[in-house]
């Protein structure tokens, strides 16, 4: 990352804390470190230094080792014990001889460096400048992260509002397309009406995915309203709908055990629909799609959708990422949100979803507690 001086122009000055019990030492160090963009704060004792640390965000602390009441090592240990000052770099300044035991104690208490008196002015400035620059970079990155997070939040809010507002005119278009066959028997008009309705329904599904994405991102999850339901009834309806729209494909439903529970039936149907649709769209067109429902466990049920096909090893860890499918396959029948939303819905039911891609077979397995409110 290349940092230019202009990058820091709008940032407030950095603060450097100098702690020494001798006034002349404070004056000398202040003279060496005084420059534009740096605020110097001085303290004559460890207690006074702690008071300043409660008020100022400090980029660097130069601390004299030998002070009465509280020496530099004790001050450093107190700083390391507090969340606010734990990350403040400390450079010890000492007039003592180079003692390995003192060095070890200093670094153990949190020092990043030692300076020995008499101090070399160029060395002090160079070391301090390094920490000032690091602190500025840290603040710059934090500011950019905050700005980008806010931009992303506003973008997702806009997408949610846009998706919601688009549904009203889209409903009119779909309703008009459904009304045309009652008004005419012209084959050409009927074909146009069928295409209009199919395109409108596809757009409606994509808008629904956009709204669910916004709910998952902005609200921390997609809300569910659990009621007594039968998993087989829910999934059987989904399978029949896909069988009607994909008449050339075979979808087999296999069910075993007790499949009763308390879930949001519409959201469970959405999970099943996303998994079956994904298998039909990306699986082997010559092989059937198998849907398994397993209710033999007392506390949980499983929904598994399996199809022939493969997932590349470098793609497998990211199959539930939003927009992933759309990026891989270019133009697609959706936004690449199906598996992402299926995972969000499973998690909203306190469930899990996982993928198993072994050999030439892909299985997506959803495990749900019998009651959505129970982990």
CB-based contact 325:282 (threshold 8 Å) = yes
CA angle 149, 150, 156 (to 5 degrees): 90
Decide which of 330 and 308 is more confident: 308
Residue 329: pLDDT over 50: no
Residue 101: pLDDT over 90: no
> Running DSSP on this structure, what letter comes out for residue 371?
B
* φ, ψ dihedrals at 83, nearest 5°: -60, -40
Decide which of 274 and 330 is more confident: 274
HSE-up of 106 (CA within 13 Å, CB side)?
24
Residue 46: pLDDT over 70: yes
Q: Which CATH class is domain 5-119?
A: alpha beta
Mean pLDDT of 64-77: 86
> What tokens appear for 239 in the block?
């399978």
CATH architecture of 227-369: 2-Layer Sandwich (3.30)
Q: How far apart are CA 156 and CA 59, in angstroms?
A: 35
> What tokens appear for 373 in the block?
């409110």
Q: What is the pLDDT of residue 42?
A: 92
Decide which of 361 and 208 is more confident: 361
Decide which of 168 and 89 is more confident: 89
Cα of first residue to Cα of last residue in the chain, in angstroms, is: 44
What is the β-pairing status of strands 289-295 and 251-257? parallel
Q: What is the pLDDT of residue 3?
A: 45
pLDDT tens readout for residues 268-320: 999 999 999 899 988 898 999 999 999 999 999 999 999 998 888 888 888 88
> What tokens appear for 103 in the block?
């060095």
Residue 328: pLDDT over 70: no
Alpha-helix runs per DSSP H in 118-186: 121-183
Nearest to 261 by CA among 371, 126, 110, 187: 371
Residues 6+ apart with CB under 8 A from 151: none
CB-based contact 35:79 (threshold 8 Å) = no
Q: What is the DSSP string of 256-284?
A: EE--EEEE-HHHHHHHHHHHHHHHHHHS-
Decide which of 360 and 105 is more confident: 360
Mean pLDDT of the residues in the chain: 83
CB-based contact 307:361 (threshold 8 Å) = yes
Q: What is the pLDDT of residue 300?
A: 94
Neighbours of 364 (CB within 10 A): 25
> What tokens appear for 322 in the block?
């939003």
Mean pLDDT of 133-147: 88
Instruction: Please say whether the dihedral angle defined by the alpha carbons of residues 139, 141, 144 and 148, taken in this order, is positive or negative.
Output: negative
pLDDT over 90 percentage in the chain: 28
Nearest to 118 by CA among 24, 12, 236, 3: 24
Please report which confidence band the pLDDT of residue 9 belongs to, taking 50, 70 and 90 as the band edges: very low
Mean pLDDT of 9-33: 85
Residue 83: pLDDT over 70: yes
pLDDT tens readout for residues 352-374: 999 998 888 999 999 999 987 54
Q: What is the pLDDT of residue 210?
A: 72
CB-based contact 76:63 (threshold 8 Å) = yes
Q: How far apart are CA 114 and CA 316, in angstroms?
A: 50
CATH fold of 147-218 = Helix Hairpins (1.10.287)
Cis peptide before 118, with omega less than 30 degrees from 0? Answer: yes
Domain ranges for the chain: 5-119, 147-218, 227-369
> What tokens appear for 163 in the block?
């998706």
Neighbours of 159 (CB within 10 A): 17
Q: How far apart are CA 320 and CA 327, in angstroms?
A: 13
Decide which of 293 and 329 is more confident: 293
pLDDT over 70 percentage in the chain: 85
pLDDT tens readout for residues 177-202: 888 888 888 888 888 888 888 788 77
CA angle 18, 20, 24 (to 5 degrees): 100
Helices 100-108 and 72-80: crossing angle in degrees, nearest 10, is 30
CB-based contact 19:71 (threshold 8 Å) = no
Q: What is the pLDDT of residue 327?
A: 45
CA 2 to chain centre: 26
> Running DSSP on this structure, what letter comes out for residue 18?
E
306 bridge partner residues: 290, 363
């Amino acid at each position: 990352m290349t940092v230019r001086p202009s990058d820091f122009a709008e940032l407030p000055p950095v603060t450097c804390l100098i702690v020494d019990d001798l006034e002349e030492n404070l004056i000398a160090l202040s003279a060496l470190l005084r420059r534009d963009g740096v605020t110097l704060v001085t303290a004559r004792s460890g207690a006074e230094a702690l008071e300043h640390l409660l008020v100022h965000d400090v980029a660097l602390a130069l601390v004299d080792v030998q002070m009465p009441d509280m020496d530099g090592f004790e001050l450093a240990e107190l700083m390391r014990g507090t969340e606010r000052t734990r990350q403040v770099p400390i450079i010890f300044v000492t007039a003592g001889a180079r003692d390995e035991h003192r060095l070890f104690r200093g670094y153990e208490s949190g020092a990043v460096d030692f300076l020995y008196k008499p101090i070399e002015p160029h060395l002090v400035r160079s070391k301090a400048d390094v920490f000032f620059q690091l602190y500025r970079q840290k603040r710059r990155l934090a500011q950019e992260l905050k700005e980008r997070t806010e931009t992303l939040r506003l973008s997702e809010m806009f997408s949610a509002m846009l998706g919601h507002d688009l549904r009203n005119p889209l409903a009119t278009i779909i309703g008009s397309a459904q009304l045309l066959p009652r008004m005419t028997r012209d084959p050409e008009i009927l074909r146009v009406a069928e295409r209009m309705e199919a395109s409108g329904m596809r757009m409606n599904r994509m808008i629904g995915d956009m709204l669910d994405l916004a709910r998952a991102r902005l609200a921390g999850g997609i809300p569910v309203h659990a009621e007594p339901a039968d998993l087989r009834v829910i999934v059987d309806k989904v399978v029949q709908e896909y069988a009607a729209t994909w008449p050339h494909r075979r979808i087999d439903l296999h069910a075993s055990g007790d499949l009763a529970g308390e879930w949001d039936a519409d959201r469970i149907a959405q999970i099943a629909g996303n998994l079956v649709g994904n298998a039909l769209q990306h699986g082997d067109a010559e092989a059937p799609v198998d849907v398994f429902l397993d209710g033999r466990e007392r506390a949980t049920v499983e929904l598994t959708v399996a199809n022939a096909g493969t997932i590349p090893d470098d793609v497998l860890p990211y199959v539930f990422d939003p927009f992933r499918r759309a990026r891989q396959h270019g133009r697609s029948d959706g936004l690449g949100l199906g598996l992402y939303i299926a995972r969000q819905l499973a998690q909203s039911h306190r469930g899990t979803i996982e993928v198993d891609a072994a050999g030439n077979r892909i299985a997506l397995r959803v495990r749900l507690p019998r009651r959505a409110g129970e982990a």
